[in-house]
Structures are given as structure tokens and as C-alpha cells.
Amino acid sequence: MYAIHSTAHAEDGIAIHARDLHKSFGDTHVLTGVELTVPAGSLQALLGPNGSGKTTTVRILTTLLAPDRGTATVGGHDVTREGAAVRRDIGLTAQQATVDGLLTGRENLELFAGLYHLGRREARRRAAGLLDRFDLGAAADRRVATYSGGMRRRLDLAASMVAAPRILFLDEPTTGLDPRSRAELWSVIRELLASGTTILLTTQYLEEADQLADRIAVIDAGRVVADDTPAALKRQVGSERLALRLARADDLPRAAAALSTGDAGPHLDPDAREIVLAVQDPDHLRRALDLLHRAGIPVERTELRTPTLDDVFFELTAVTA
């Protein structure tokens, strides 16, 4: 039902192209040269912590903010010089849910559909379809002010999809959603992708990017520090983290020396008496403990954990630094 576009995006098959984007607010340099190329019909994740520049990038690409330097095209149109053309092709779900609390869910969707110039009957049809799709059918004729946070969020997403835009920007769309709503949203995103929509999604969750994205751009301090497929990034980051807590903090340098045989060196945390390394398989754990045992370094506790965003950053920023 979302489906719509048989025509290609821009002639070169590139839906979003950003070059050397810079943006500062006063003395704060939020973007320091963002580069991004998103092929039409793919899902690009923008992964990064708070304040890394994800939202600013999205705001520039959706014509809400002008870059200080650099250029960007969306759907083949320049975001600063051809804003009106860009706006015809895009939908945005911002971090903050932006729906009208005094209108009902249905009125909201019909309003936005109308402002995308869909025609009254088509607007009604799309609104009704999306309300059902997002499990808002029962609340459709209640004012949005009475909705729960999750319901608002879902309505917000429906609003950005109501005109079936060719390029959809989702800025942390699952923040604040319960697991069921999140799974529902993921399936909607997959459907949109299957119908040819290009999606740029920002997230703080590695798992979300991994689940959905064709490519993940890791953004840190206003720059893209890595841009690759999820599989390649995970290879780089390692599948799991092994944290070894030593009995004596003094042993840390020796332990690091004993263990630094792999691709990525271990990461020391003196305060926690911890040494953290990426492990590829269970055997790795045995070898590490073996090495420490032979070096006569007592280990107090071991912990295996899946890599967090922190680990990704440590890995990627350590490589580029």
C-alpha cells in the first residue's frame, strides 16, 4: 500500500549525496565535514551518540537548516537552492513527536495528506490505512493530546509516510517505543524499503542499525568515521567483548602485553582494573585466560558482553585518531 515509485530517483541512482557539510552554532562545531552517499532504494543508518551531529545532518538534508559549508542533494535537488523541490520528495519524522495535539489522529493524517496535495478521497484512504497499520484504529477519532507517548510516536511516523515520500528521514524513530511497537515499526520500514523508498535512519542502537540497514555510517564529533555494511563493521568491531577483571591493578600493563596479539589491541580501564578485548569465537576466551595464567596474572572475574556503541566508538575512533 505504500508503494509507489517506479521511476528512479536522480539519474545516477543516488538518492542522498552530502559533501563536506559543516555547521557551527557559535563556537560549537557540530558538523566538521560530513560525507554521505545513499543509493536510491537503500536504507542508510546514521549511528552515533547524542551530540554527534546526526540530527543536524538530518535537518540540513530536510531543508530545515542551511549548512555553513558544503553541499547536499536529495532526490537530485540541491537542499539550499531547490528546497521546494526537495520537500516534495521527502518525509521526516523528527526526534520530537510533531503532531497536533488538539486534532484527532485521523484529522492529523488527513491534514498532512492534504498539505502533500493528495486529494480528499486519497487522503482519507491513506489516513485510514495508516491508522490501522499502526494500530491506532481504535483511537483514530480521539484527540492526540489523550494519546500515550508510544501512540504519538506511531502517529508521527504515520504522518511522515502519508504521502509515500520517495525519501524518508527517520530521526531516532524507535526512541521511547515499547518492544512491540518497535518491532511493528521495523516491519513497516522493511515494507517501505521493499517498495523502493530510500530511508535515512538515525539511531543510537547498534542492533537497530544492524537489523535494518544496508549500510551504517558511524558519526562521531561531526564527522563520518566509518561507513560500511553492518557485516563489515561488525567484523571490524568484533562480535563480542571479553572483560577481564584483574586481582591487582599493577598487572594491567603486563596483561595487555601478554594479550596484544590480535588485530585490535586490548582496551585498559585502570579504575575498574579491567582489560577489555574483542573476541571472535569461544576459543579466544580460553586462549586469553591461558595466556594470563602462564604469565602468572590472577583474574578475578570474566564477563562476555555484546559490543555496545561505546565499543564501536572506541574501536573506530581509535583507528582514525
d(CA 123, CA 106): 10
Least CB distance from residue 92 to other proteins, whole Å?
5
3-class secondary structure, 233: helix
Are 3 and 165 in contact, with CB atoms under 8 Å apart? Answer: no
Least CB distance from residue 308 to other proteins, whole Å?
27
d(CA 74, CA 132): 30
Least CB distance from residue 27 to other proteins, whole Å?
16
Starting at the edge strand found earlier in the chain, the sheet holding 77-78 runs: 28-39, 14-25, 69-74, 77-78
User: Looking at beta carbons only, is 39 or 262 nearer to other proteins?
Assistant: 39
User: Looking at beta carbons only, is 105 or 196 nearer to other proteins?
Assistant: 196
Least CB distance from residue 283 to other proteins, whole Å?
41
- 287: Cβ contacts below 8 Å, ≥ 6 apart: none
d(CA 41, CA 193): 6
d(CA 45, CA 198): 11
d(CA 234, CA 206): 10
Least CB distance from residue 88 to other proteins, whole Å?
5
Least CB distance from residue 166 to other proteins, whole Å?
9
C-alpha cell at 51: 551530540
Are 200 and 167 in contact, with CB atoms under 8 Å apart? Answer: yes
User: Looking at beta carbons only, is 17 or 77 nearer to other proteins?
Assistant: 77
d(CA 270, CA 93): 42
Least CB distance from residue 98 to other proteins, whole Å?
4
* Alpha-carbon Rg for the chain in angstroms: 23
d(CA 172, CA 205): 9
User: Looking at beta carbons only, is 1 or 295 nearer to other proteins?
Assistant: 1
Least CB distance from residue 309 to other proteins, whole Å?
23
Number of residues in the chain: 321
CA dihedral sign, ordered 221, 225, 228, 230? negative
User: Looking at beta carbons only, is 62 or 203 nearer to other proteins?
Assistant: 62
User: Looking at beta carbons only, is 94 or 244 nearer to other proteins?
Assistant: 94
User: Looking at beta carbons only, is 167 or 278 nearer to other proteins?
Assistant: 167
Q: In the complex, which residues of this chain contact other proteins (CB under 8 A)?
A: 1, 3-7, 40-41, 55, 59, 62-65, 77, 82, 84-85, 87-92, 94, 96-100, 102-103, 107, 111-112, 114-117, 122, 143, 159, 194-196
C-alpha cell at 98: 510533531
C-alpha cell at 125: 484512504
User: Looking at beta carbons only, is 68 or 107 nearer to other proteins?
Assistant: 107
